[in-house]
Structure formats: structure tokens, C-alpha cells
A and B are shown apart, each in its own frame.
Chain A
Amino acid sequence: MAGTSEQRTIVLGAIGIWAALFLLGASSLAYALIPGLPLKLPAALVVVVLQAALVLGGFMRLGKASALVRTTALIGIVWLSFLFMMSFADLWTR
């Protein structure tokens, strides 16, 4: 049985990350709704990257995971970049 202080750490830690996710989402929404602002989609994607980093680091504890696990997570992204890179090499030069 965990002590109450440990329980509080668990709950507060999750609430903290949740609050950060929520605020980031709210800022993304606000930026999208205010008319006339430039680069709306890139801005939204930057927010998603930050949110994803929070979930990966805070909830999924990727930072504390072994090097093997972190490499695995990275490899998915790297291989996806192959698909984008090579296909756009075609699409942009047609």
C-alpha cells in the first residue's frame, strides 16, 4: 500500500501534465480561430509536437526508458521520413 504522499505525487503529476496539454490545445484552438493570423497549420503542428513530447516524456516516460526503447521510437519516425522524402522527390519534380 502506498502512502498518501506517494498517492498525491501520482495524482498531481498526472494533473500537471494534463493541464499543460490542455493549455497547449487551447492556445492552438485560439490561434486557429483568430482571423488573419499567418501560418495556421504549421503553428498547430508545432503545438502537436509539443503535446506529443509531453505525452511521450510525461505519460510514457520515454526519457527514462532504455536506449534501446528510445532508439525504437526514433526508428519509426526515421523510416517514415524515408516515405515522405522519396515520394515527395517524385511529387515535387513532376
Chain B
Amino acid sequence: MVTPLDHKLLRDLWRMKGQAAAIGMVIAVGVMMLVMMTGLVTSLDETKRAYYERYRLADVFASVSRAPDSLLGRLAGIAGVASVEGRVQGGALIDLPDSALPVQAQAVSLPDRRDPRLNAVYLTDGRMIDNDKSDEILLLQAFADANSLRPGDSLTATMNGARRKFHIVGLAQSPEFLYTTAPGELLPDDARFGVIWMSNSALAAAYDMQGAFNEALLSLAHGASEPAVLDAVDRLLDSYGGTGAYPLSEQTSNRFVSEETNGLRAAATGVPPIFLAVAAFLLYIVISRMVQSERSQIGLMKAFGYTNAEVGAHYFKLVLAIAIGGALLGCLMGIAGGRAMIQVYTAYFKFPFLVFQLEPSSFVIGVGVSILSASAGGLFVLRQVFTLTPASAMRPPAPPDFSRTGRIGRSLNRILDQPSRMVLRRITRQPGRMAGSVIGIAAGMALSVAMLTLFEGFNRTIDLTFNVVDRSDVTVSFTHAAPDTTIYELKRLPGVLLVEPVRIVPAVLHSGLYSYRGAINGLTQAPRLNRAIDQGLAPIPLPKEGVTLASALADILHVRAGDTLTVEVRQGRQPVLKLPVAGIATSLLGSPAYMNLTALNRALREPNRVSGAYLSIDSNQSEAIYQTLQDMPSVAGVSLKADARNAFRTVMNQGAGAIRYVMGAVAFIITFGIVYNAARIAYAERERDLASLRVIGFTKGEAAFVLLGELGIVTLIAIPLGSMLGYYISFGVAAGFSTDLYQIPAVFHPSSYGTAAVVVIGAAVASGWLVKRDIDRADLISALKTRD
């Protein structure tokens, strides 16, 4: 049965629908963030797991120079190994008609006449290759799409020095190549790196690998010890030129996907709680003031004989209706937002299918936090209200006592008119309420500041990486470690302004329990084009001894300057080096380790060798330079900084970083919601005063001043406070968005604060305008009849 109190509840909700909607919306977006983010992370994890499982992605990868197929049986015999596949793979260069530069590619074999035991491919278009035709290939779909290639097209590629024409019969995807990066590059770029699948017999012929393999793939049995298997594989392959087996967690594509999902997970766990906390705080303030304004009605109900519990339950229901309504809306919005965002991510991560899953705990947490914070706000005030005697409701309300107001100084008194005094007295006399509004608005501003700082941080990362760290125009990589005379050849090319040698050597860095599979970048002693820089952006000269680590890498390895690292080189003689950490460099992209080129070559006992070069060129002659580079037999690949910069932008804007735009929008909604609520509450508390002013002859504008002046002052006080709060929150948000691949700094940028202030002021103006409309429409007569 619907009781009269329930009727009152429904009517009260309807009466305060504007404000209830504003509060509900703030809760809703807070809950939405939580539900959406956790749902996204769960879905991506689950989709990745299913994709890997369905296409049998290997657990261990091991490269060798050349090993006989008979060795596969011995690999399969290692304890803990479930299945083994051997394959041939090698580097290739693809000629594209539209591109002056050759494109690097990896050619991978597929077994003749059977499905691969591991690392299967997903055919998205066309058909599988016919083993009898050695010129048929499958092409990685992302690469084909980026270069407008279709099944039926042909392409020319150079493999092992021989140039051949191939027919594309199908397009494929593979969990192994979700991300493709050219050797020596950090960022994936669909257009700039291709994958070609060919029959084993054809590829083995091309690379002289008949009856042999140069890469082993292994899957592990349940409960197998990964380190033990890696050890056993290394021992077995050592004499065949093994460069060290590595687990899936270190495989390039998987590492990238994991870093991206980890970035999203960090953002999902770190950022929504901040939003929800702000929403909860706002809810507490709004509810407490709302209940306070119902004071006389509460007294009246008690006078009728309702018990404290009944009255309490009534208001509790009101609070719950708003909180639960908002939270449920937030859940729905979270599901919708998650579904929309997952489309973006599925395309970005190139998953062929999607497992959309929501995290049930996020619903429970979201709804729970909303109810708790709303209840806290309600309970705190109801406790005060319960002490009210019913009789007090029968008398005209005592006006709020302003007698303890610090008397405004005489000089100030002369300047201020009465409406200004009303504004000032309310602020000084009710500091608790004002502080609530100020902190609420400041919290909203802080969110906006943090999000804008984050946007700025992304720009800063790109700017630092491509304008300060890497100042080259072109990066050239050689097919093998070439003599440094090659550098002179490059220097002689017309239009080449500056050439700087680099030697990149794959290596595993160890320190105690921590290790990192990466590379050592050998640079000249004081490089100018690609440099290690310190926190003050000054270049760090590379000493003759030791390695200089990027701060992110130093964190991974838990080392500081002065510590010693073990470096297992995975090239040539594969020496194991003990190197001191000479310094820590600031780097926002990747986790590079720098070393003096001469020192590196000496340690490798391969003097005067380089693996590539950084070039600064005259942009007017770029086409001619590319053409010359393409024709140089020692050049394996050429990459342009402009392409790398675009690739980085893509990663930032479509990967884990994409969510920052959603969060930014949510931050603005919350900011607006807070300011609007502050204005609404202030109006609710002063409705009668304002109507009285209107009756005694104040114009609409003059009456509105009393309210909007208060809102204005509160907003102005909130802005510096919000800036300060935002400064601290921005560190947390930036850390939440930083991944192993790139770091986002919390950059103090005045424009972030200025924009956030404009957002807050804009919200205040819009809220003021909305409330002013109500002041203009206020029913003067009813305001005079009501007692409170």
C-alpha cells in the first residue's frame, strides 16, 4: 500500500526534480566510469586470452641460426613442454609502388599440408596458400589494409638478397602480430611493417633452410616451470646459434598489448575512484543541506505523531531514490559506454572477435559507494533534526542568527550597500556551508585541471620525444653490423646535413631478480641527433664506462646510478657483460639503455661497427635521398620521424590513452554538476528572502545579485583551491595513464589551469543563468505565505 508519506516522497522528488537530476547525474557519471573502465579491462583481457587460446599462441619462442628438424623431437622431450613447432622466418623488404621507401617485413613459414601446431593464423579474406605454388603468400591484414592491397594483387619483395614477385591469395590475422614494429623501432605502424606467410618449403628454399628451422615455438603443459623450460631450450639450441629462448611475456606484440591493457587497468583502478570520491562528497553536501531545508516539515510530522524512525525512514528513502536512481543510470551508461569504447579498442587491438564481459563487482561497488555516501549525508543531518521538538514547527521559524557575524569594518560599511552585506555575511557567518560549496566546486575544478594536465602531458611526451630526444629526420638501419665507413657514404649524399652512427644490440639486462629484454643503444660520446637527456632536458654525455638507463628502465630493474648490471648480449658472440649504471636519463617513450658506441664495440670486441644511423636532411632533397638509400644494399630499412610521430599519436589516441577523452568529458560534467548544485542549494535556502526583496521593490537583477554574488565569491575562492588540489591529483592521473611503453608527465602548464578556471566560471555563469530564470519566475505571493 502506498502510504501518504510515500505520496509525499514522490511529490517531493518531482518538486526537486531539477536538483535530483543534477545529483543523480554526478553519481551516474562516477559509477559509469567505474563500470565502463573495469568492463573494458575485463573484456580486453578475456578477448585476448580467448584469441591466444583459439589460435594456439606459443608460450616460448626461441631463435637459432639454423637447426635441423630432427632437433624438434628433442625439444618436445623437455619436461613441461606440451607441443613444439619449428618454422623458418626471415627479414624481407617489400617494394610498394606508392612509396619511395622500401617497407620492412617479416616472412614466416606455415607447415606444408597441415595446420600449424602453434601460432595458427586466422584467414580473414581470400584462401589459404597452395603448397605446390611457391609464389603464393598470405599477407597481414592490417598491412594490406594500410597499403590498399587485396587478394589477387601481387607484390615484389626481396628475401635473402633475391628479388621475387609474389601473389597474394589471402589476408590473415594472428595473435602473434597484433602489433607489428620494424626491428629497432618502438612503435607499431601498420603501414610500415608487413608480415608475409608462405609455405614452409618455399620459404626454406629462399633462406637455405631445407630440413631445418630457425625459430622454435613451444607450448607449456599445465604447471610446467617456465624458467626450467627456457634453460633446457637454451642448452639444447646453444650449439645451433640460439640467441636465447624467451617467454610469451617478452614477445614484442604481446608485450605491447599487455602494456596497453595494463595502462588501461591502471587508469581503471586509479582514476574512477577519484571521480567517485568527488561525486560522493558532493552527494554528502547536497543531501545534508537538502534535509536541513526540510527541517520544519520534519517537526510537523513529529507533531502529528510520526516517530523519529518513521520520519528518518521517509527521508532515507528520498536519499536512496536519488542515489540508487543515479547509480543504476550510471551502470546503464557504463554498459553503453563500455560497449562503444570496446569497439574502438577491438579495432585498435585488431582482435578478430570480441568477448564483451562486465565486471559484476563494479556494479556492487558503484551502487554501494553511492548509497553509503548519500546515507552518510542524510544520517548526519537527520541526527540533528531528531533533536528538534515538534513545537518548534508550530511557531514561526526563528531567523538564522547573524548576530555573531564579525561586524564589518566601518570603512567597509560605508562602501558596501545592503545586498553586498547580505552576501558577505552569509559567507562569513555560515563558514561550514560555504566551505562545503567551495570544496565541492574546487574538487570539480581539480578533476578538470587533472584531466587537462593529462592532455598536456600527452602532448609533452610527443614534443619531448620528437623534438628534444630525437632530433633526426630519418633513421636508417643496416642489414648487419656494418663498418663505420658506411657512415661516410651517407655523409657524402647530397642533401644529408648530419649523420650520426648508432649501434643497437639486442640484450637482456639483469639486476638481481629483475630483468628486461631490450637493447643497448650505442651512441657517440656527445650525440646531437638522438640523445639521452636529463631532467633539465640537457644532453647527458655518454661516458667511456657503463650504461645510461632511461628512468623507466631503471625503475623496472630497481637500480640507481652506481649499481652494476649484468647484460647478456643476444648477438654475435653473445658475451655477458658486467656494466655499471653511469646515469639515469629522462625518457618518455620506451625504456632505452644508452652506451658509448666505442665502449660498446670494445665490449663486443667488434670495433668500428654500426647498425644504423640517424640523419638530418634537407627536406627539399628528401625524395632523392630516399631513392639512394633504397638502392644501397647495406640498408635494411629507413624510417621517417614524421611516420614515427604519427604512429605515436595513433597509439596515444586510439590505445589506452583514448579513454582520457571520455574521462575529460566526465570531469566536465561533474564540474558542472557540482557548480549547478551549489547554485540550486543556495537558491533553495534563500528563495523566501529573494521573493521578499522583489516584493519590496528590488528588480529581478538586484534580487539575483544577492544570490549570484554569493555564487560568484564561492566560485572565486574555489578556483585557487581547485588549482592546488588539481596539481596534486594530476600526478596520480598521469601515473595512471603511464605505461611501460610511454610515460606521461604531470606537466604544470598554466593553460590547463586557465582552461579549468574558464570551465568552472562557465559552469557558474550557466548555473547562475538557470537559477536566475527561476528567480525571475518566482511566485512572490507564495514565498510570502510560506514560513520557511
A and B, one complex? no
Interface residues of B, Cβ cutoff 8 Å to A: none
